[in-house]
Structure 1
Amino acid sequence: MKSAGSLLRRSSLALAALALLAGIAFVFLRSGPLAPVRVIVAQVERGRVSPSLFGIGTVEARRAYLIGPTVAGRVLRVLVDVGERVEAGQLLAEMDPVDLDARVASLDAAIARAASAVTASDAQRRDAQARRKVAEANAKRYEELGRQAFVSASAVEIRVQESNSAVAAVQAAEANLAGARQESSRLGAERDALVRQRANVRLVAPAAGVVTSRDAEPGSTVVAGQAVLKLVEPASLWVRTRFDQGRSAGLAVGLPARIVRRSDPAVEHPGKVARLELLSDSVTEERIAQVGFDAIPAGLSVGEMAEVTLELPPAAEGPVVSNAAIARRGAETGVWVVADGRLRFQPVRVGATGLDGRVQVIEGVSAGDRVVAYAESELSTRSRIRIVESLPERTR
């Protein structure tokens, strides 16, 4: 009786151990390392991908002006302040002219004196010309009288010498007149240069715009080329945008754009690509484009951040998969195809990518194929899978 009870207990313990081992094996196979990987499967569709480019940029001015003197000097007065709108040709600031006005007055007096010298030289020339005519007439008369032996040869020579002297006197007078005129012209040119230099102390607006910076105050000394004021044209504002080089295929001037300002994210502003920069950023691997507004929005400020979306031409119709389905195994790009409950890695060649997450597949799969869209862990060709509708915590 005791032996039968002991055998019963041992049998019960053995059955309990077997049940425990079976439970552990079941749990191990269902949720342990050997458990099938839960996946979400999607069907390859046929359609068109509308590729887009997304970038972030900063509002800048296409035309900005640094207004300052061409020579070193002291700021006499500044007539405008930051934020004021100015018109082309409006006086914005003025530099101290120092002695420029006195030098202009001195040159005016020198020019007047040169004009008097020109008048005197011209009078001397006319007098010399009159004397030459008289001397030439006397020389001709004495030469005729000399041939008739009415006067001596020496008297004829004196008259001829007087005629030659009169001619030389005319040449000298004409040279003096030319020199006086050249001096007058030189003084006039010097005065014009000084007047232009005097005009440069008046800092005027080269175009209509808005003052964005006031960098010097009256009494400050600035060097040549240093900005006293900064001016931008509000109508020339655009967004300097950076795009990922790897996704920038198709980026071109004229592409339509949607611009969203960080300060007003609820409103989209239409625009287009106005210019592509020749130099890309090799550090961040980005291409740079200038995107202009179709209409400058009210309240736009320089330096404001903006998000830009460019619409590219639609790709050709063909197989389309979710971007999440694209997987990489080593150097290969492909998708995990599910067929007859088995898993197979299929290399593919992808094309355009849309911002909605869809990718064009040029070759590798066909419409109707079933591919893994999401998996709860990394897959391999030996992985067992279990197709589910959703994954816990959307593990993807």
Structure 2
Amino acid sequence: MYLMNCDLGLRAGLAAALLLLCAGLAGCQATALPQTPGTEPPAAAAAPAQVEVVAAELRSWPGVVRVQGSLLADEHAVVGTKVAGRVHQVHVDLGSRVAAGDLLATLEPEDFDLRVRQAESQLEQTRVKLGLKPEEDEEQLDRKQIPEVVREEALLNQARANLKRAESLTPNNVITAEELDQYRAELEVAEARYRLALNAVEEQIALIGVRWAELALAQQARVDAELHAPFAGRVQQRHVAPGTYVQVGAPILSLVQTDPLRFRAGVPERQAARLQEGQAATIHIEGLPAPLKGAVSRISPALDLSNRSLCVEIDVANPGGGLHVGLFAEAEIVVEPDAQAVSIPASAVRDFAGVEKVWLVERDEASERVIASGRRDGEWVEVRSGLSAGQTVVRQAQEGLTGPVVVLQSSAAAAAGKS
């Protein structure tokens, strides 16, 4: 009994001690909770960022139409022969520069020389028949002095005399009526032969004209055996080699005129009405350090129905030949020279993941604003949407931060204040 009482007392003491220990631990944790290790006290509020701002302003941004196209030759010709023959020599090659009239190729001349001599001989033969000397002109020839005509005229005069004599003897019945009819028939035959002789002379004179034409054709064929450049340019392609027999019209060389060149492009139908000849244009070609200047030279009177575009051409000077036919190019055609647009410095625009933003400052508060930019001209960017003229943005986009800001005086404003 005594031992049981002792055990109960011991257990009660242990329980009381355990309760006191738990209460002490709970008190310690409650006291130390605000300063738990690893937990920092709240930081003090950040100071406003100091930024330089700039106001969006209206600047001159002429309205343009952008097109893409290619540089084409001002003239392009596949030069062929007017006569058939065998190629004797080709005087130029790929890329050769030629002036108008330069010799490009020649055909073998022997056959052409023979035809010229043949035509000359036939002409001389015809002239000899008429008794013409080399220095005499057939048009000044007296037809009645031709031997054949002289002979027929003499026979005609004799027939007339015979008839007249017979008619004088008729009253005396010296000749019969049959003999008189014979004399009259002889006169008619003599007159016909005389007219025939005159016609033969005219025929020979006409034949001389034919021989002259044949000689001229033979001489022209001899000239055409030499192929000359129709205009100044460069050889784009050579089609034949010496020894090749070519027919009439067969291509010998392809020639292009490279100064000036023509920039040709198709303008979309919705922009076609804004174009006019003479409008200024800027042409950009990859690889050139500076764009080319020009003006709209030609506009097609009709749209291409296959793609609903209007063909325009701009002449491009190429005195040194540095530009090549076929180069791809982009052009900006100024259609509204006096147009203006909202503009900001390029440094004020931040591009992230394809989205362009600026830091808009209003009442000393900066906030992000999404914009749509357009053309760029040096340090300035055209703003098509998202900003209005007079609104203020942070000049350096990387300095922007959402929240309060302290606006510093811009360098431009400071310069204006000093002045």
Q: TM-score if structure 2 supplies the norm length? A: 0.60
Q: Find 1:105's aligned residue among 117, 120, 136.
A: 117
Distance 2:403 2:300 in 1: 48
In structure 2, do the counterparts of structure 1 residues 369 and 147 end up closer, same or farther at CA, with 3 Å as the change threshold? farther
The Cα offsets for residues 319-369 of structure 1, whole Å up to 9 and x where unpaired, read as: 7478xxxxxxxxxxxxxxxx999xxxxxxxxxx9887753779xxx98668
Task: For residue 294 of structure 2, give the secondary structure of its aligned residue in structure 1.
Answer: strand
**Residue of structure 2 in register with 1:276 after alignment:** 299
Contact 1:49 1:360 (8 Å CA) reproduced: no
> For residue 263 of structure 2, what is the aligned residue in structure 1?
240
Match of 1:21 in 2: none
Percent identity, aligned pairs only? 25
Deviation at 1:132, TM superposition (A): 1.0
Q: Deviations over 1:246-303 (max 9, x none)?
A: 66663332122334554431x444322222345559559685423333xx44342323
CA contact (8 A) 2:299 2:310 kept: no
CA contact (8 A) 2:274 2:335 kept: yes
Q: 1:152 to 1:44 in 2, by over 3 A?
A: same
Asked whether the 8 Å contact 1:125–1:173 carries over to 2, the reply is yes
Aligned to 1:116: 128
| TM-superposed deviation, 1:114 | 2.4
Matched, 1:205 2:229: yes
- Which ranges in structure 1 are unaligned for 5 or more consecutive residues? 17-41, 323-338, 342-351, 372-385, 390-396
State the match for 1:89 in structure 2: 101
> Are residue 77 (structure 1) and residue 89 (structure 2) matched?
yes
Give the TM-score normalised by structure 1: 0.63
1:301 aligns with 2:323: yes
Closer, same or farther: CA 316–308 of 1 in aligned 2, 3 Å: closer
One-letter amino acid matched to 2:184? V
Consecutive unaligned residues of structure 2, counting only runs of 5 or more, are: 1-19, 37-53, 133-142, 345-361, 366-373, 394-401, 406-419
For residue 99 of structure 1, give the secondary structure of its aligned residue in structure 2: helix
Offset at residue 183 of structure 1 (A): 3.4
Give the drift of 1:139.
1.6
CA contact (8 A) 2:77 2:255 kept: yes
| Structure 2 Cα separation of the partners of residues 189 and 217 of structure 1 | 33
Distance 1:72 1:112, change over 3 A: closer
Structure 2 distance, partners of 1:232, 1:104, is: 34
Distance across 1 between alignment mates of 2:233 and 2:74:
12
Residues 1:105 and 1:244: Cα distance change in structure 2 (over 3 Å): closer
Aligned match of 2:244 in 216, 220, 226?
A: 220
Distance (whole Å) between structure 1 residues aligned to residue 179 and residue 319 of structure 2: 99
Distance across 2 between alignment mates of 1:72 and 1:127: 48
In structure 2, the residue matched to 1:68 is 80
Give the Cα separation in 2 of the matches to 1:6 and 1:136: 173
Cα RMSD after superposing both structures: 5.5
Offset of 1:93 from its aligned partner? 1.0
Q: Which residue of 2 aligns with 1:50?
A: 62
- Structure number with greater Rg is 2
